[in-house]
Structure 1
Amino acid sequence: MKAFMGLFCLFLIVFDLRIIGPVGSSVLAIVIMLIYSIFLKINIFENLIKVLTFYKYSIFIFMVICFFVVFRILVDSFQDYSYFLSMMKATLILISSLIYIALFEKKDTLFYLFMIFFINSLICFYFGTYPENKFIIKYFSYPVGDGSVELIGANEYRNAFLAGSGYFGIAALYAFVFPVLLYYIVEQVNSNKYIYYIMLFVIACAGLMAGRVALLCYFISLITFLVFYRKISIIFYIAIGSFIFINIVNNVDELEFFKLWFLNLYSEGGRESSTIQELKTMFYMPDELTFLFGDGKFKGEFGGYYGSTDVGYMRNILFGGIFFCFFVILFIFSILFKSNKFFLIVTLSFIALLLHGKGLFIINNPGFLPIILLSIYYSQKYVSYKALK
Structure 2
Amino acid sequence: MYFPFVLEGFEIVFYGLFYGVPLAYCALNLRYVKKIAVAVIGGGLRYVLYCYAALLAMSILVPIFHGTYDLSFFSEGVLSIVKESPRMIFLMVVFAKYISPKCDFILFARYFVWSMCCYVLGTCLFVLLPDLKAFWYGVVKDSEHSREVALQADYFTRYGWSGFSGFAHTFKCVLGIVLSCYFLSREVKRIGLKDFAAPLLLLLGTFFYGRIGMLVAVLVAIVFVFFVLLKKRPMLTTRLAVGVVVLCIVLVAGALTNEQIALWFDWAFAVLINFFSTGQLESASTKILFEDMLFIPPLDTWMIGDGRYSGDVGYYMNTDSGLMRPLLFGGILFCVLRYALLAFLVGYLWMSARKCKDRPALFCVALLCMAVLIFEIKGEVVFVAVTVLMPLAAMYSMQIRTTKDG
> Which category of TM-score, normalised to the shorter sequence, fits these structures?
0.7 to 0.9
- 1:285 pairs with 2:275: no
Distance in 2 between residues matched to 1:321 and 1:27, nearest whole Å: 38
In the TM superposition, residue 193 of structure 1 has moved relative to its aligned partner by 5.3
- CA deviations 1:81-123 (Å, max 9, x no partner) are 2112112222222454345335423323122112111111111
Distance in 1 between residues matched to 2:373 and 2:48, nearest whole Å: 17
- CA deviations 1:99-155 (Å, max 9, x no partner) are 533542332312211211111111111112333432444324444379x96xx8813
Q: Could you say which residue in structure 1 is the equivalent of 2:319?
A: 309
Q: Could you say which residue in structure 2 is the equivalent of 1:213?
A: 212
- 1:114 pairs with 2:113: yes
The answer to whether the Cα contact below 8 Å between 1:178 and 1:204 also exists between their aligned partners in 2 is: yes
Deviates more, 1:176-185 or 1:340-349: 176-185
Distance of aligned partners of 1:112 and 1:66 in 2 relative to their CA distance in 1, 3 Å threshold: same
Deviates more, 1:288-297 or 1:234-243: 234-243
- 1:33 pairs with 2:22: yes
Distance in 1 between residues matched to 2:55 and 2:166, nearest whole Å: 27
Q: Provide structure 1 residue ranges, at least 5 long, that are not aligned to the other structure.
A: 1-11, 384-389
Distance in 2 between residues matched to 1:245 and 1:141, nearest whole Å: 33
Which amino acid is the alignment partner of residue 262 of structure 1?
A
The answer to whether the Cα contact below 8 Å between 1:30 and 1:99 also exists between their aligned partners in 2 is: no
The answer to whether the Cα contact below 8 Å between 2:322 and 2:378 also exists between their aligned partners in 1 is: yes
In the TM superposition, residue 39 of structure 1 has moved relative to its aligned partner by 6.2
- CA deviations 1:259-300 (Å, max 9, x no partner) are 232342223489x62211111121011111111111111111
- 1:267 pairs with 2:266: no
- 1:79 pairs with 2:73: no
Q: Could you say which residue in structure 1 is the equivalent of 2:356?
A: none
Aligned pairs, number: 364
TM-score between both structures, scaled by the size of structure 1: 0.80
Secondary structure of 2:314's counterpart equals coil
Which residues of 2 match residues 250-261 of structure 1 at below 5 A? 250-252=252-254, 253=258, 255-261=261-267
Which residues of 2 match residues 1-16 of structure 1 at below 5 A? 12=1, 14-16=2-4
Q: Could you say which residue in structure 2 is the equivalent of 1:70?
A: 60
Which amino acid is the alignment partner of residue 117 of structure 1?
M
- 1:90 pairs with 2:81: yes
Q: Could you say which residue in structure 1 is the equivalent of 2:375?
A: 355
The answer to whether the Cα contact below 8 Å between 1:58 and 1:335 also exists between their aligned partners in 2 is: yes
Which residues of 2 match residues 183-202 of structure 1 at below 5 A? 183-187=182-186, 194-202=193-201
Which residues of 2 match residues 220-239 of structure 1 at below 5 A? 220-225=219-224, 226-227=226-227, 230-233=231-234, 235-236=237-238, 238-239=240-241
Which residues of 2 match residues 127-146 of structure 1 at below 5 A? 127-138=126-137, 139-144=140-145
**Structure 1 or 2: larger helix share?**
2
Distance in 2 between residues matched to 1:329 and 1:237, nearest whole Å: 40
In the TM superposition, residue 255 of structure 1 has moved relative to its aligned partner by 2.6
- 1:154 pairs with 2:165: no
Deviates more, 1:131-140 or 1:119-128: 131-140
Q: Could you say which residue in structure 2 is the equivalent of 1:247?
A: 249
In the TM superposition, residue 42 of structure 1 has moved relative to its aligned partner by 6.0
- 1:328 pairs with 2:338: yes
In the TM superposition, residue 369 of structure 1 has moved relative to its aligned partner by 2.5
In the TM superposition, residue 250 of structure 1 has moved relative to its aligned partner by 3.0
Distance of aligned partners of 1:43 and 1:332 in 2 relative to their CA distance in 1, 3 Å threshold: closer
Distance of aligned partners of 1:267 and 1:188 in 2 relative to their CA distance in 1, 3 Å threshold: closer
The answer to whether the Cα contact below 8 Å between 1:18 and 1:164 also exists between their aligned partners in 2 is: no
Q: Could you say which residue in structure 2 is the equivalent of 1:104?
A: 95
Distance in 2 between residues matched to 1:287 and 1:307, nearest whole Å: 13
Which amino acid is the alignment partner of residue 374 of structure 1?
P
Which amino acid is the alignment partner of residue 295 of structure 2?
Y
Say what the alpha-carbon RMSD is for the aligned residues. Answer: 3.5
Which amino acid is the alignment partner of residue 35 of structure 1?
A
Secondary structure of 1:299's counterpart equals coil
Deviates more, 1:319-328 or 1:79-88: 79-88
Distance of aligned partners of 1:31 and 1:182 in 2 relative to their CA distance in 1, 3 Å threshold: farther
Q: Could you say which residue in structure 2 is the equivalent of 1:60?
A: 50
In the TM superposition, residue 40 of structure 1 has moved relative to its aligned partner by 7.3
Deviates more, 1:121-130 or 1:260-269: 260-269
Distance of aligned partners of 1:381 and 1:179 in 2 relative to their CA distance in 1, 3 Å threshold: farther
Aligned-pair identity in percent equals: 17
- 1:369 pairs with 2:386: yes
Distance in 1 between residues matched to 2:58 and 2:132, nearest whole Å: 43
Distance in 1 between residues matched to 2:84 and 2:5, nearest whole Å: 12
Distance of aligned partners of 1:284 and 1:238 in 2 relative to their CA distance in 1, 3 Å threshold: farther
- CA deviations 1:347-387 (Å, max 9, x no partner) are 11110111011112111x3xx2232223444556669xxxx
Distance of aligned partners of 1:291 and 1:16 in 2 relative to their CA distance in 1, 3 Å threshold: farther
TM-score between both structures, scaled by the size of structure 2: 0.77
Secondary structure of 1:295's counterpart equals coil
- CA deviations 1:167-224 (Å, max 9, x no partner) are 2232222123211122134437997754331232122112222222223212332344
